[in-house]
Amino acid sequence: MAVQPTVASGDGGSAATVASFDTAGHELVPASIAEIGEVLSSPDAKLIAIMLADGMIELHELGKGLRWRTTIKDRAYQAKFDGRGRLWVLGAYASPAA
């Protein structure tokens, strides 16, 4: 399966939007209304990670839907899939109180 992003430009000051669909026509819809920061695909293109500006990260499995979602207190600045399909999230995280 492949993801087919569709981009619609904003009109008169509204932000551009991105809608992603798998080849079966299932739309990947984030639960948050925050801006999408990054969309990643796993090496086998079966998993899609969506990172949102409010710290929410969602992992969607194509053809099956949402696999999991979590919110990171501190904003993640980068995420990568490794060769085994694991999602690694990098960020500037606050140290716990000593």
Q: What is the DSSP letter of 97?
A: P
Give the C-alpha distances (Å, rounded to integers) separating 16 from 45, 69, 71: 24, 23, 23
Q: Report whether 28 contacts 18 (CB < 8 A).
A: no
Q: What is the pLDDT of residues 44-58, one digit of tens each?
A: 888 888 888 888 888
Residue 76 has a pLDDT of 60
Q: What value does the mean pLDDT of the chain take?
A: 74
The residues spanned by each domain of the chain are 4-10+26-89
Name the E strands within the chain: 4-8, 17-21, 27-28, 36-41, 47-52, 56-61, 65-71, 76-81, 87-91
3-state secondary structure of 84: coil
Residue 87 has a pLDDT of 86
CATH of the domain spanning 4-10+26-89: 2.40.10
